[in-house]
Structure 1
Amino acid sequence: MTFSAPNPRTVLITGGNRGIGLAIAEEFVAQGHRVAVTARSGQGPEGTLTVRADVTDAASIDAAFTEVEAAYGPVEVLVANAGITRDLLLMRMTEEDFTDVVDTNLTGAFRVVKRASKGMMKARFGRIILVSSVVGLLGSAGQINYAASKSGLVGLARSVTRELGSRGITANVVAPGFIETEMTAVLPEATQAEYRKSIPAGRFATTDEVAKVIAWLASDDAAYISGAVIPVDGGLGMGH
């Protein structure tokens, strides 16, 4: 079912060609927004504009924004979702393993936020939503690089809020827990069952459940929410 949003916005989602990013893009399309996604390969869902971009490359980000602006106008809603993992125990993790993950997940978010902020400041309107993880708040053995990068998004969002909040721009963090994606589907059933035991809700979230929270944060209803961390984790992190 589709309907027209009361205020259709230009939305850009990084990493919008699979998993949570794909579901986010589909939700914004269903609500009647103008939706673009960045992808290094593959395509976003039907009804979206797919632009090639690598969040580790500022020039490619600038080119992607320019392409979206030409097609849809200035980006009003930015969802920084692109991310990678490189899980290893501390003693085995190289400096490159650490910096590569931080460069994509945290510095990549900085690059897209900085580029989006130009148009948002001019329009005196903007919604910035950073996709973090329950791991960024709880920590996780074997994920020092990933947890550090996802935790850093909280400081980024809160500092952006203090800098740009008076210009009608909000910046929030969504912290998903275990989600039903291709990554969790390949885990052995015994491992999945063990994970579910630690979740008060007793199940993994669907990608749609994360997408709807993000779409709500981008809406006019959430205009007075900024610098917040919204957990979508079935109680796993208890909102740390």
Structure 2
Amino acid sequence: MNLQHHKNTIADKGFSVIDNVFSTEEIEKISEVIRNIDTSKETFRKSEDLFAIRQFLKEIPEVKDLIFNENLKTIIKEIFGENYFVVKSIYFDKPEKSNWYVAYHQDLTISVDKKVELENFGPWTTKQNQFAVQPPLNILENIFTIRIHLDDTDEHNGALKVVPKSHAKGIYRPETIDWNVETENICSVEKGGVMIMKPLLLHGSNRTTNGKKRRVIHIEFSDRELPEELNWSERMH
């Protein structure tokens, strides 16, 4: 793995794909843990189009050692740096027949432990007693997201489409995208591979058309401390 190359690509384009981070056997073990969980909890969201587990690493702690294998730990250290910690984790499963479609957007919120009035923090949203807020830009710009793929993913089963370099343009309203200037890139990722992206990268995904499922573990990392009144709700070293 030429990690310096990936580090440069992420800085320049806002994303990079690294194959073979997990072996077939490791992916099977992770999948097995997920298959055997109690899905009735309120942090789990289940519909025909999507199954999602919020606070994934907290809800299923036994998966943590499987996910943070030597390859992933090396990637985090070399690309992000020594001081990064987990601040958010979600498991997504787009089933085979899913019509789930996601329009272009940036990931503009962080998950925190409570709602407090703070300068430059807002707007706020609350879902299932979980608090999310849009923090100042410098916090968003510093986050890295790793998306671990448990299935082969391409344009036919909802691979992410992204606008390269859009992560460096601050808050970017999707309706203002000028396609004469911007390009679209479809991020195919093989099973066992990861996509690393900056949350300000404009991204979306199309409906699944090939009848194949797409399961992704989404983990966000930061090295920033929040104002003392506030804590990252899923902070984990």
Q: Is the TM-score greater than 0.5?
A: no
Which of the pair has the greater relative contact order for Cα pairs under 8 Å at 6+ separation?
2
Structure number with the higher helix fraction is: 1
Structure number with the higher strand fraction is: 2
- TM superposition score category, shorter chain reference: under 0.3
